Structures are given as C-alpha cells and as structure tokens.
A and B are shown apart, each in its own frame.
Chain A
C-alpha cells in the first residue's frame, strides 16, 4: 500500500525506459482518465490505462508489470484519439509489454499448444500474427 518516493524513484529507470520505447512524456499525463473511460476492454482490466501510467511514473514497476492491463490492450487507439494531452497511450501500453517481453526470462503470453481443438483452423492469420507479435518475445 505504501510508496516511498525519492527523486531517483520519480525519475526511475523503468519509467525512463517506458518513455523511451513509447516516445511519450509520462509527466504530460494529468490523470483525467479519458483513456480508461473510453477503453472497450477496461472492464476486464485490473487497473485502467491511466493508472498504469501513474504506477509507471511512481516507479511501481513490478506491480504494473504484474497486471493484465497492457496485455489486454488491443491497440484500438480509442484512448490515443481522445487524449486531451495528446499522449499516445497505446504506445505506452505497448512499451510496458515490450519491457516484459524483452527481459531474459521469456514470459510468452500465448501457448499454441494450449489452443482448443479446431481453433487454429478457424482463426484468421492476422489474429495469429498480431497476437504473436504482441505476446511473444
């Protein structure tokens, strides 16, 4: 529950990395929550996109990387298109994903072997390929 803040933590390496990968300035976020409000998938997220940004900024690295929020993001860009501060939130979500996927220990989020029978035959290629791109390192 508690966060101990220091200037190193506020300018934490993790947030810097997310900013670098996403090309976005997390300090520009004024926490209006528009992204969460319009997100078609936020109903299933453990924390909203605006909270994911907040957690990242405050250096709550393991906590934010442990939630399903950015794995559930479908990059539909609704948040990006309506952000009053012009932050491309989808890029921030993707950056969080990248941080996990680029770590040495693989944390692949789909296992082909676990698909139900007949699934592979039905699902269109684009869904697979995008899925692999988003979920595999």
Chain B
C-alpha cells in the first residue's frame, strides 16, 4: 500500500470561499493510506510547495494528490516539486476543485464541500494505481517555418534569423508586406508606412538565414513539435524569377487591365504585374484568370518583350518538402466585407468605401496619387463622414469584439482629409474613442482641436444614395438628436476579421480557433503567443486585432519563445499516451482510422496496431474505439477510471 499525501489549496478565497477546506483536509487525513493531509492558502507558492516537499521527505510519501485549480494551470508546478524530492512526477495528480467545484457551486457550501471531498477521493484512486513514468526524449529540428509575410511574420523571421536560426518564410501573395503595404502613413507620428516596411522586407529578402517563398501556401503538415514535416505549394508565377531582372517592360506592355485587389478596387493592375508598385521582391506574376493568353491564347506580348526570356506560360505549381522544429502563424487579417452590410448599401454605393480603400487613396503610390477624390465622379468631397465600429461591437448582427485600430486610423484619416481639403468638414461617428496606447490620446485630442474634427457619439443606422449625395442617418447621443448628413463620401471603419483560409490552415496545424476564426492562445496571460498545439506560435492579427506596434512586439515575443524551445538538445514529451496490449490486439485497424494525430499505425508483420510515441497526444480516441479493449492510456487505465467512477456513485 502506497503512503499518500493530500494537499488542499485555498486559492485565496477562490476555493476556500466555497469549500470548507479544513474539514476536507481532516476527512482526507482519516483515509487509511493517506499519511499526510493538509491545507494552505496558496499551494502553488514557494512556501506551499515547501509544505509538499517537506511532507514527502518526512512522511515518506509515495503518491501525492494536490486539490487545487485545473491541471492545465499547475500540474507541472507540483510535479516538479515532488520530483525534487525524488518522487516520480507521474505519481502526483491534481484534483480540480476550483473550476469543477468551487466556481460552479458558489451558492452551496455544503454540497461543494462534499463534492470536493469526492473529487479528491476519486483522484486518490487514480494515484493508487499510477505507474512511474519517464518523459520521452526526442531529437529536434532547429529550423522554423513562418507563415505570413506581413509585418508580424517578417519581424518574427528576422528575429529568429538574427538569433541564428534558419527560417522558411512563406507568403501567399507574390510580395512581402501584407496589409501594412497598403497603408499611407501610420498613427500616431504620421510617418510614411512604406519606407520602414520596405527596409524590413529587403532585410528579409537578403538575409542568408531566411528562405523566402512568396506566392506559396502551406499544403500539408505532419509531425509534432521539434519535428514538423511540411509540404509547401509554390504557385506558378509563370515568370522565371531567377531570370527576371525586374525591368518592368512586361507590365508596361501588357494590354489587360482589371481592378486591383491591392488597390481595393480603386485602381487597376495588369494581368502581369507586381504585387504592388514597390513590392519586395520586385518580380511580377501572371494572373491566369485575366491573362489573355490563358483566356484564348490571343496574346504573348510579355513573352515577346521580355529581354531575359523569363516568361514561362508552361510553369507548373511546385511542391516543396521542408522540415521545421517550430511554426509561427502570422496570417493577419481582412476587413469585414462591405457586401454584407445591408444598412450601408451592401458595398454597392461607389462613394462608400472602407478604411483600407481610403488608405490607398491617401497613398502617394495609390490610384489617386494621394489625392482624396470620390470614386464616383472624381470630385473632391466636401462633406466627409467617417463611421467607426462598423460590424464591430455588434454582437447581435456582426462581430462582438472591438477591432482595436479603427479609432486611431479614423482620427488619422480625418486629419489627413482636413489637411488636404481645408474647407471640407469631417464628421466622425463613434461609440467610444479608444486611444489607449502611448501617445495616442495626445494625438487624438490635438487632432480634434487643431483640425476641427466633429466627433458625434452615436451609431449610423443607415446610409443610402440620394440625389448625388450619400445620405447618412446617424445620431448624436450627447444631444439626443438624430443627425442627418448629406455626405459626398463615407469611409467605413469595418471590423477586422481573420484572413480567409485561416480555419483550414488551423485544422492542418491542429491549432484551435475561436468562433470568429481568430487563432486561440494557450493562455491569455501565461502563454499569450503559444497556441494550444505545442511548437506552434501565434503572431499578429491572426490571434486578435492589434496595431502595428503591438503586432511587432508579439512577433518578437514568438521569436523569443521559439529560441528558448530550440536551444535545448532534446525535447521532452509527456509519456501519458496510449499503449497496446499486444496479446489482445486483433489488428482490426479501427484505431488507425480514428486517430486524429496519425499516431497509430499497423505493424503488418505482427498483425497488430502500434503507437507512435512522439505523435500520440493521449487524447484517448483509440481507447474508446477499440472493440476489444486492447488500447489503454498510461495512468488512465480502465480499471483506474472505473474505480474513480465508483467513488462518485458509491
């Protein structure tokens, strides 16, 4: 019989406020094989851990149950503590009496206390039958894959490369820069966005440790932290970038023009073109959907003009196999589509545009060369309405969250507008002005005072075209009046949403997303850049809306975490995984089908199923599926589980 110890944490008042910890500790002390039972205000603190260590030493404990918060918080903490006294860490188990007891039964102290005792008794059952286990050591690959070539991805890649790690950076578009490349100037110091960005992009392109793969997407991921096997699809650019010298003759001569997505439809691009005028790398791609050659074989102008013979209509997509030890997901954002905003005209009113379109308009390299001209007739708008929180903070109809950057960029937009059109009037409809970072509030107030921006606190109910104007039905809740503006142009600060395809990508990576499609971090404060899957890290707006400065910090933070991960020689993996009783396994293969991690495999020779230790995450799917109970989970055997259940039903 093992000598067991029970340690009950008050968690301040989180547990002790509901559960009578003293009486539970006494009750546990009366259990036959429990040699020590006690309580403490914060068991996770140093003195708390000290209590555990001393008890192990003095009472010779052979198994420990800590009754506290969720094991996802402190299982590691306590396993480390018992290990320091020579106990196998897997003989320490957590009885979750906070999330699963005190927090959910705040109104019923007596029942909560009874339940806490039962949870601990059940966990004691588990510990009685736990085996001593050793973590599984695995070799690691020291390269890193960064997905996304926006400011987040570039920052992470550069930090890692500077830290001495090899990086593969893949970007879906033909050039680096992401949405930041579309911006004119950035708040709050109103620096032009492009020079800093291009400098960074060039550094990425040049860096010997970075392998840049533009126009590429991640197709498949296998493996696990430290040992990811990746397949990247490099899309055919139809231009041999090795040969191309970026002279631009092909672009100039291409006869096909269409609305450029980069210019948010306000400007045109050619069927062979750069990602944007100052794009890095400065190499063009051919868009099959618009190129005349692909439509009817009717044109080969670019091929004819190219001095380097770089055009290759026959180029095929390429599949590249890579290995990496860690992955940074920096997939960025998109704006909520205007086409879904019924009350604002479903994106069909030409003079109602979104924030990124206005950025293009303000950009010196944009469709209007930086001039504010309304799209419908090219006139200078004199009455200019900006609407914030469009589809943000709108739980009933659109997105419940705040998009974080709109307040600041709208103030910037209105400021630029006023600078360019001194006799024009900007109106800004807002709900709360959110200028909460360094220098933002000052910028905002100064802009309002100096530029005479009219802020109206209220939403806009409807926008429609009327008599050559865009009529805006809004409100000023501070006077309580309805406000109507016959505007020349309207800019919508539409919500930030995750970029398309993130859900599919997340599924490939086995990372989780929230209901809006933002990638979820493992813990908002403890592990803000780690995903729920080991070895996969998050940077930038793919995780949640944020501005450039915060994005850059977060991206550097991922780089720091990855360097710590990859600085060791071997990775240690939890041994709480499935195993097969080879005598019982009939080799039916159901487990192979059902395993979400591709950790199960048939051993053809022996006719049984085996477990790939490095891949198994211990999810238990195979255990439930196995028709003859040949699979078990280490330290969660059927007999352990049944005994635990017995405790509750007894």
Q: Judge: A and B partners, yes or no.
A: yes
Query: A33 within 8 Å of B by Cβ?
Result: yes
Residue contact B473 to A37, C-beta cutoff 8 Å: yes
Residue contact B482 to A42, C-beta cutoff 8 Å: yes
From known contacts A34-B459, A47-B480, infer whether A84 and B397 are also in contact, taking CB-CB under 8 Å: yes
From known contacts A30-B431, A33-B477, infer whether A85 and B483 are also in contact, taking CB-CB under 8 Å: no
Q: Which residues of A contact B389 (CB under 8 A)?
A: 32
Give B319-348 interface residues, CB cut-off 8 Å to A.
343
Query: A36 within 8 Å of B by Cβ?
Result: yes
Q: Which residues of B contact A86 (CB under 8 A)?
A: 395-397
How many residues of B are counted as interface, with CB atoms below 8 angstroms from the partner's CB atoms? 24
Q: Which residues of A contact B476 (CB under 8 A)?
A: 33
Residue contact A85 to B482, C-beta cutoff 8 Å: no
Q: Mark B51-88, 1 if CB is under 8 A from A, else 0.
A: 00000000000000000000000000000000000000
From known contacts A48-B480, A50-B477, infer whether A37 and B397 are also in contact, taking CB-CB under 8 Å: no
Residue contact B343 to A32, C-beta cutoff 8 Å: no
The answer for the CA separation of A51 and B481 in the assembled complex, in Å, is: 10
Residue contact B431 to A36, C-beta cutoff 8 Å: no
Q: Mark A32-73, 1 if CB is under 8 A from B, else 0.
A: 111111110011000110110000000000000000000000
B430 CB → nearest A CB, Å: 9
Q: Mark B455-476, 1 if CB is under 8 A from A, else 0.
A: 0011111100000000001111
Q: Which residues of A contact B458 (CB under 8 A)?
A: 32-34, 36-37
Q: Which residues of A contact B474 (CB under 8 A)?
A: 33, 37
The answer for the CA separation of A42 and B458 in the assembled complex, in Å, is: 14
Q: Mark A88-104, 1 if CB is under 8 A from B, else 0.
A: 00000000000000000
The answer for the CA separation of A64 and B459 in the assembled complex, in Å, is: 22
The answer for the CA separation of A37 and B430 in the assembled complex, in Å, is: 13
Q: Which residues of A contact B398 (CB under 8 A)?
A: 84
Residue contact A39 to B396, C-beta cutoff 8 Å: no
Which residue, of A30, A37, A51, has the highest number of chain B Cβ atoms within 10 A?
A37
Residue contact B394 to A84, C-beta cutoff 8 Å: yes
What residues of chain A have their CB less than 8 Å away from a CB belonging to chain B? 30-39, 42-43, 47-48, 50-51, 78-79, 82-86
| Apart from A36-B480, A50-B477, A84-B396, 15 more pairs, CB < 8 Å | A33-B476, A34-B461, A34-B475, A35-B461, A36-B458, A36-B481, A37-B473, A37-B475, A38-B343, A38-B461, A38-B462, A50-B480, A82-B462, A84-B398, A85-B395
Closest 4 CB pairs of A and B: A38-B461, A86-B396, A33-B458, A33-B475
